[in-house]
Amino acid sequence: MNDDLRLSRRLLLAGTAGLTGAALGLGGGARAASGPPGPSVPADTGAVQGGRIVFPNWRDAGDAPPPPPPAPMPPSERVGFAIVGLGRLSLEEILPAFGEAKKAKPVALMSGSPDKARLTAAQYGIPEEAIYGYDQWDRLKANPAVKAVYIVTPNGLHRDNVLAAAAAGKHVLCEKPMANSSAEAQEMVEACKKAGVKLMIAYRCQYEPFNREVVRLTRSGEFGRVKMVEAFNGQTTALPEQWRLRKALAGGGALPDIGLYCLNGVRALLDEEPVSIQAQIVTPENDPRFKEVEESVAFTMRFPSGVIAQCGTSYGVHESRSLRVHTTGGSLDLANAFAYRGQRLTVAHRDGGHVQRDEPVLTHKNQFALELDHMAECILGDRRPRTPGEEGLQDMILMEAIYAAARSGQPVTVGPLAGTGQGPDATRGPALEEK
């Protein structure tokens, strides 16, 4: 081995543990401005600071600094969740998302299919004694590893599941829509309050980075006042026997299933609640899929500030999920807004004598992992969730108004949730921290 190579190896293995950032060429003003740790942090081996492993920013001013390495909690300290219902959503999205969660872990399953539950438990390292049938809430109550339950059953079963979880003393994360009616939703809120447990509704888009950026830009006023909002969520559906096409289990058709994202997305975007709603429903005749529920809904919401939101949803169109905000000084266009992944944001605004279109580069993150970790943080820190039961209750009330407006052909007057006031985020918990 020649002397130059031997010297290079010594520098790599030993020198980087003690060399300062300045010695490695990391002390330039451009890099310091982007916020690297102190010069005592080795360039490539990192160092422990404040309970995290940190590295100095190795990129120059022309590139964005890389994100810090993940800092998951030790498995023994994470909040244990029982997943109630092992349908498509649980198996395709929620359980895999625990692999990206940092503060939550799956510790129990509840299912009406023992074989499926045993196989799933084996796949995720869940002990067989932590598998429960839907009539075994007493057994689940006695499991100290279960701090929260995630209700992922059909909508019509949410009310009974949440009440059982509250009676068992477990915190509750419940899929949307919250229930089949506002009366059921109100009962769920009251039951959790009485039991002293937290109730969070799984509005995953309110935790997703691109949706959050649209909310931030809209509320900042950077591009002027909001005038109009457009939201659409549509897809095709088949298999007439699926539960989403049965009113007793789903509560409705496209509106509560996917149209709810438009309704909640617009409400989360603005700092006010609608004052009136108009709506139309169109359902094809003699289609076995839509004997009990609607195919397509269009609804318009008017807000106190004068903002008009035009929303649409359908079970009969090619997949399309978009959110557009039109302001006095620009427009925000979020493609795939309500999808599980693939969001893309375009911002158009005037720049001098021309119109500029920007595409902010944000880090895509697993929406289910984000909401799981938020619920875990609220339990660990005893905080109110950003999307508590009241958020879901208000949506249930507004969806009932949409159906009423479609039946009558007349506008329906609505307002803020009783007891919450008209103020910004009245139905929501504290704002999310930037991470």
Instruction: Quick: pLDDT tens for 151-172.
Output: 999 999 999 999 999 999 999 9
Is residue 211 within 8 Å of residue 265, measured between CB atoms? yes
* Higher-scoring residue by pLDDT: 39, 378: 378
Determine which one of 207, 261, 315, 403 is catalytic.
Answer: 261
CATH of 205-361+389-413, one of 3.30.360.10, 3.40.190.10, 3.40.50.1220, 3.40.50.2300: 3.30.360.10
The share of the chain scoring above pLDDT 90, in percent, equals 82
Q: Point out the catalytic residue in the list 176, 198, 203, 403.
A: 176
Taking the C-alpha atoms of residue 72 and residue 75, their distance in angstroms, rounded to an integer, is 8
For the question of residue 203 being annotated catalytic, the response is no
Computed over every residue of the chain, the mean pLDDT equals 91
The CATH number of domain 75-202, selected from 1.20.1300.10, 3.40.50.720, 3.40.190.10, 3.40.50.970: 3.40.50.720
Q: 273-290: per-residue pLDDT in tens?
A: 999 999 999 999 999 999
pLDDT digits (tens, 9 = 90+) for 329-360: 999 999 999 999 999 999 999 888 899 999 99
Predicted pLDDT of residue 60: 92
Residue ranges matching CATH 3.30.360.10 in the chain? 205-361+389-413
Give the global pTM.
0.89
| Confidence (pLDDT) at 421 | 66
Query: Is pLDDT at 173 greater than 90 in this prediction?
Result: yes
Phi, psi of 204 (to 5 degrees): -60, -35
pLDDT of residue 255: 98
Helix 260-269 and helix 209-220: axis angle, to 10°? 40
Q: What is the pLDDT of residue 148?
A: 98
Instruction: Select the more confidently predicted residue: 422 or 370.
Output: 370
Model pLDDT for residues 86-141, shown as the tens digit of each residue:
999 999 999 999 999 999 999 999 999 999 999 999 999 999 999 999 999 999 99
At 199, is the secondary structure helix, strand, or coil? Answer: strand
Tell me if residue 176 is catalytic.
Answer: yes
Query: Does 389 score more than 90 pLDDT?
Result: yes
Every domain of the chain with CATH number 3.40.50.720 lies at 75-202
Exposure of 74 by Cβ count < 10 A (0-12 exposed, 13-18 middle, 19+ buried)? exposed
pLDDT at position 422 is: 61
pLDDT value of residue 26: 37
Name the band, by pLDDT with cuts 50, 70 and 90, for residue 41.
Answer: confident
**What SS3 state is found at 365?**
coil
